[in-house]
Structure 1
Amino acid sequence: MPIFTAFFVALLLLVVMTPVAHQWGLVDQPDYRKNHKGIVPLTGGLAMFVAILVASFVTDYWLKNDPQYFTAAAVVVTLGMLDDRFDLSAKGRLAFQFGVAAIMAWSAQNYLTSLGDLIGFGEINLGLAGYFLTLVCVVGVINAFNMIDGIDGLAGGMSLVVLLSVVFLLLVSQNGAAIMGPVLVISALVPFLAFNLSIKGFKGNKIFMGDSGSMFIGLTIVWLLVEYTQGTQPAMRPITAVWLIGLPLMDMAAIMYRRARKGQSVLKPDRQHLHNIFIRAGLSSNKSLVAILLLGSMYALVGIAGEMLNVPEYIMFWAFLLLLVIYSYVIQNIWIILRRLRRFGKSDIQVS
């Protein structure tokens, strides 16, 4: 019942909210950074949030620490809607995001207590520092999913990859009773993706999730990952969770590093994200989507393999840092690399 309720409520709201979005001004119009056609409603995030909320109440299924989760989610969805409507300042968004993170860490007591054996000298227990590190992690993941939301299906598709990976790890770790949390989110996400990607039978009602949706998804994913990696019987190790969301994290880190080097605000929007690079290199939006989701799936598979094979946490950690350095270098020098590839006969690669 929770699954069907979330799915059908989301499906209904995605249709009903379209005229409401135009009345409220929650629409996205093409500009120098956005190449979509026409005016598109930004109510996908609100529809998903309400669907999960309704499904939880109606079926009497509650996510862990439900009042605090839904309070934090309501705040972040409202923040996203205000940003979609009025284009809030980066500092203002950041302040509210830290407030949401505080609800999760202090009020819900869903915070990092251990990082595992990251450096090979035993488990790193955080104590009081865990609260503050959780704030940084929550804000980081929220912005990582917000930044990756640039082409149809990308933020939703990446979220689907992460959530399905979480479900798999919960099942193999004999924590199947906990899968309803991510499954509930998946149930609300699927109808959104159908409309967003204009899949056959869902054409004619294009919808974006907006900042409200990408931040809501980011919050939900980090909430679940912290919950499943901490405690006496965690479903996965902390470093595994990092790999599951590795691509959005690395893309955000590389973008912020490049902006900081140029003396720009690290939260200033631009057209240098991974999806922008794929498109400028000559791939269509659909091909870029598939390529990035495959890349994100590879990160998740590395995390899953490391968890199932019990690869030492410090090896997984240093491998992640090494890949982060390589990723950042490639992104910083992507156009030089593409030009050199063209010289080696790959004439199908374009550099704009």
Structure 2
Amino acid sequence: MYFWIANCSLAFLLCVFCAGIVIPKILLIAFRKHLFDLPDERKIHHCAVPRLGGIAFKPVVFFTIALLLGINMVLGHSEMLSEIGNDVRPLAFAFCSIMVLYLIGMADDLIGIRYRAKFVIQILCGVMLIAGGIYIDNLHGILGIHAIPLWLGYPLTILVVVFIINAINMIDGIDGLASGLCSIACLFYGLTFFMLHQHVYAMLAFATLGVLVPFFYYNVFGNAEHGRKIFMGDTGSLTVGMMLCLLSLKLIMCCPDDNTGNVHPMVLAFSPLLVPCSDVVRVYLHRVRNGKNPFLPDKNHIHHKLLALGMRQSNAMITIISVSIVFILFNILLALYLDVNWIVLGDILIWALANIWLTRRISAINKKL
């Protein structure tokens, strides 16, 4: 137990340290090469800000895991190698999918890529997860469905992968929001996998949390006018989104034991992603209802609604992250007493009613103006 606590802690701390060194260097390169995210009518920031922060994410996480594996071997500890060996197939395919999205995200941040091409790549990444043996094979009672056949599980997995990746990408609209929500998710997944004795996945979660912490600092507290502010860009949102896909789908396939109090697997897997996923569904439906392309950006996300109420960016970010934490904790608590379908229905109703209230408040404010 203490061995894995030490490794998970080191994974987190090494990623914090390495990302803290790399991100300022990325800022320096971005300013020297004039690689900026320029403001326009859809964006909230008013200064040119580099959006290459996500370039640090994947290399730092992979370097840290590889370094810790090497250190463990030098010290004569083979436990980490043994656990990686037991999951080498899913980890290999997952790392390949993250690498592909890393390259696509970098290309999009530098020269731009059509959303159709990104969808094709995301589908390919879903296929790679399936090839690694990570897929949805059981709905655990959602709508009364339990085990599902492969012909249904495979396309459902691809749909979920594309959905989660785009949900993380689209929620990245104000300072600290995407990184804050992903940090909460990674912390939760890390603790859950640790209790389930899936220590390599716990290390991946804590390592991802480690790179998000220094990025959050520069993204939220950095001064754009002094060249200290940075965005994660598609490189960051796509790779972190893929990591969360891996962790959530793996969690579905892990049977809870006494260490998690027999909490429903679907609640454990998707409660941390509830806010970005619920928001993207509402936004897509709103665009389709208004005859707009559901894949083109607008200003109808939950953070835009809070800003329209007069909230500052920081307050909107804190509010949404707090809501996500409340959803996670309440869903886990309710899962001990209620059927999962009632929890899903409750989450949908609460989210829908909250958005209806926000819309009416914004309309009332606009009428007064």
For the aligned pair, the TM-score class normalised by the smaller chain equals 0.7 to 0.9
Q: Distance in 1 between matches of 2:41 and 2:24?
A: 28
Whether 1:34 and 2:43 are equivalent positions in the alignment is yes
Alignment equivalent of 1:130, drawn from 150, 153, 156: 153
- Does 2:23 match 1:14? yes
| Amino acid across the alignment from 1:157 | G
SS, match of residue 29 in structure 1: coil
AA in 1 matched with 2:137: T
CA distance 1:89–1:176, shift in 2 (3 Å): closer
User: Superposed, which structure 2 residues align to 1:33-112 within 5 Å?
Assistant: 33-60=42-69, 64=87, 65-106=90-131, 108-112=132-136
Alignment-derived partner of residue 118 in structure 1: 142
Match of 1:227 in 2: 250
Shift of the 172–311 alpha-carbon distance from structure 1 to 2, 3 Å rule, reads farther
Equivalent position amino acid for 1:6 in 2: C
Instruction: Give 1:154 shift.
Output: 0.3
Deviation at 1:77, TM superposition (A): 1.5
TM-score, with structure 2 as normaliser: 0.83
The alpha-carbon deviation at position 254 of structure 1 amounts to: 0.6
Give 1:313's match in structure 2, choosing from 329, 340, 345. 340
Q: Distance in 2 between matches of 1:3 and 1:298?
A: 24
Partner Cα separation in structure 1 for residue 219 and residue 68 of structure 2 = 27
1:220-263, Cα deviation, whole Å (9 max, x unpaired): 11110111121455775124422221111111001000111122
Offset, 1:72:
0.8
Is 2:169–2:238's contact at 8 Å kept on the other side of the alignment? yes
Deviation at 1:310, TM superposition (A): 4.9
Counterpart residue number, 1:218: 241
Alpha-carbon spacing, 1:267–1:23, altered in 2? closer, same or farther (3 Å): farther
Distance between the aligned counterparts of 2:256 and 2:325, measured in 1? 26
CA deviation map 1:160-215 (0-9, x unaligned): 12122223434555656752121111111111111111269xx8521110011111
Query: Over residues 53-93 of structure 1, what are the superposed CA-to-partner deviations in whole Å (9 max), with x where a residue is unaligned?
Result: 11111111687533222211111121112222223222111
Sort the Cα spacing of 1:246 and 1:89 in 2 relative to 1 into closer, same or farther, 3 A. same
CA RMSD of aligned residues (A): 2.7
Q: Which runs of 5+ in 1 are unaligned?
A: 343-348
Residue aligning to 1:156: 179
- Preserved CA contact (<8 Å) 2:137 2:149: yes
How far the C-alpha of 1:283 sits from its partner, in A, is 0.6
Q: Per residue, is there more helix in 1 or in 2? A: 2
**C-alpha offsets along residues 85-140 of structure 1, whole Å, 9 cap, x if unaligned?**
2232221111111111111122x1111111101124x6243433211111000000
CA distance in 2, matches of 1:55, 1:177: 12
Match of 2:283 in 1: 255
Gaps of 5+ in 2: 1-9, 70-79
Q: Give CA deviations for 1:26-73 in whole Å, capped at 9, x if unaligned.
A: 421111122324322222111011100111111116875332222111
Distance in 2, matches of 1:118 and 1:71, equals 31
- Identity within the alignment, %: 23
One-letter identity of the residue aligned with 1:99: L
Aligned residues: 337
Q: 1:4 aligns with which of 13, 25, 33?
A: 13
**Cα distance in 1 for residues equivalent to 2:255 and 2:17:** 36
Alpha-carbon contact 1:80-1:213 (below 8 Å) kept? yes
* Alignment correspondent of 2:274: 246
